[in-house]
Chain A
Amino acid sequence: DTGVSQNPRHKITKRGQNVTFRCDPISEHNRLYWYRQTLGQGPEFLTYFQNEAQLEKSRLLSDRFSAERPKGSFSTLEIQRTEQGDSAMYLCASSSSGQGLYNEQFFGPGTRLTVL
């Protein structure tokens, strides 16, 4: 399967702990996005990478959140000092740059975070 993969699929943690999620995009895609989805809502944009450069961050991305894409391939999203409000599904998506910014994004299955 050459789709977007995310690990882990589920993460349960206690409040105050740090967690890290990984996303492996489709190999030829240079654009990578992170979104957060809570129950009953559509995904909300968190941050965007083009290759290894983080070019955009949402106001939703507090200073407890950090994302990296060190070699322009996989990406990690870390949440420090987790809070119960961080409980959500974290989605990763990737796209190519062939048609500019109009390309569809391909989504991974998500990582469901539960903060106790």
Chain B
Amino acid sequence: AQSVAQPEDQVNVAEGNPLTVKCTYSVSGNPYLFWYVQYPNRGLQFLLKYITGDNLVKGSYGFEAEFNKSQTSFHLKKPSALVSDSALYFCAVRDRNGGSQGNLIFGKGTKLSVKP
């Protein structure tokens, strides 16, 4: 079965420090991976995706993610965290089961807290 794991329920970072939010996946075949962010009382917002090509993907708001096939990981990173980055972050993989029409399988989410 395809799945996504976010091993940390919460990540705490000081403002200005680099941040990493971890994601590992399990799929058959090539993975199509996504990161979304959810702010309170708002819908999920797309940050970035990996389909193919360069393992380092750059996205919105200064975020980037590194695809590592050998470690089956797709960690989200940012060189310098902002207090406004505090939110809930979801990693997702596109369902590739037979007949799937592109729906996403999400991890449980990681709460990022950036302190001033």
Q: How far is the CA of A91 from the CA of B44 in the complex (A)?
A: 9
Binding site for B on A (CB under 8 A): 3-4, 31, 33, 35, 40-45, 48, 50, 55-56, 58, 91, 93, 95, 100-110
Residues of chain B with a CB closer than 8 A to A33's CB = 103
Is the beta-carbon distance between B32 and A41 smaller than 8 angstroms?
no
A42 and B101: CB pair below 8 A? no
State whether B108 touches A110 (Cβ < 8 A).
no
A55 adjacent to B43 (CB under 8 Å): no
- The verdict on B90 contacting chain A, using a C-beta distance below 8 Å, is yes
Interchain nearest-CB distance for A68 vs B (Å): 17
Known: A101-B94, A102-B94. A48 touches B102 (CB 8 A): yes
Contact size class for B?
Answer: 20 to 34
Quick check: A4 and B105 within 8 Å, CB to CB? no
Q: Is the CB of A109 within 8 A of B102?
A: no
- B 100-115 binary contact with A (CB < 8 Å = 1; else 0): 1111111111000000
In the complex, the answer to whether B43 meets A108 with C-beta atoms within 8 Å is yes
Would you call B101 and A101 a contact (CB within 8 A)? yes
Chain A nearest Cβ from B109, distance in angstroms: 5
Q: Does B99 contact A (CB under 8 A)?
A: yes
> 9 A-B pairs, CB-CB below 8 angstroms?
A4-B43, A42-B4, A44-B106, A45-B103, A45-B104, A45-B105, A48-B102, A50-B101, A110-B43
Q: Which of B72-116 contact A (CB under 8 A)?
A: 90, 92, 94-95, 99-109
Q: Which residues of B contact A58 (CB under 8 A)?
A: 103
For the complex with contacts A45-B105, A109-B43, 12 further pairs of A-B residues with Cβ separation under 8 Å are A35-B103, A40-B108, A42-B92, A45-B103, A50-B101, A56-B99, A56-B103, A58-B103, A91-B44, A102-B102, A103-B102, A105-B46
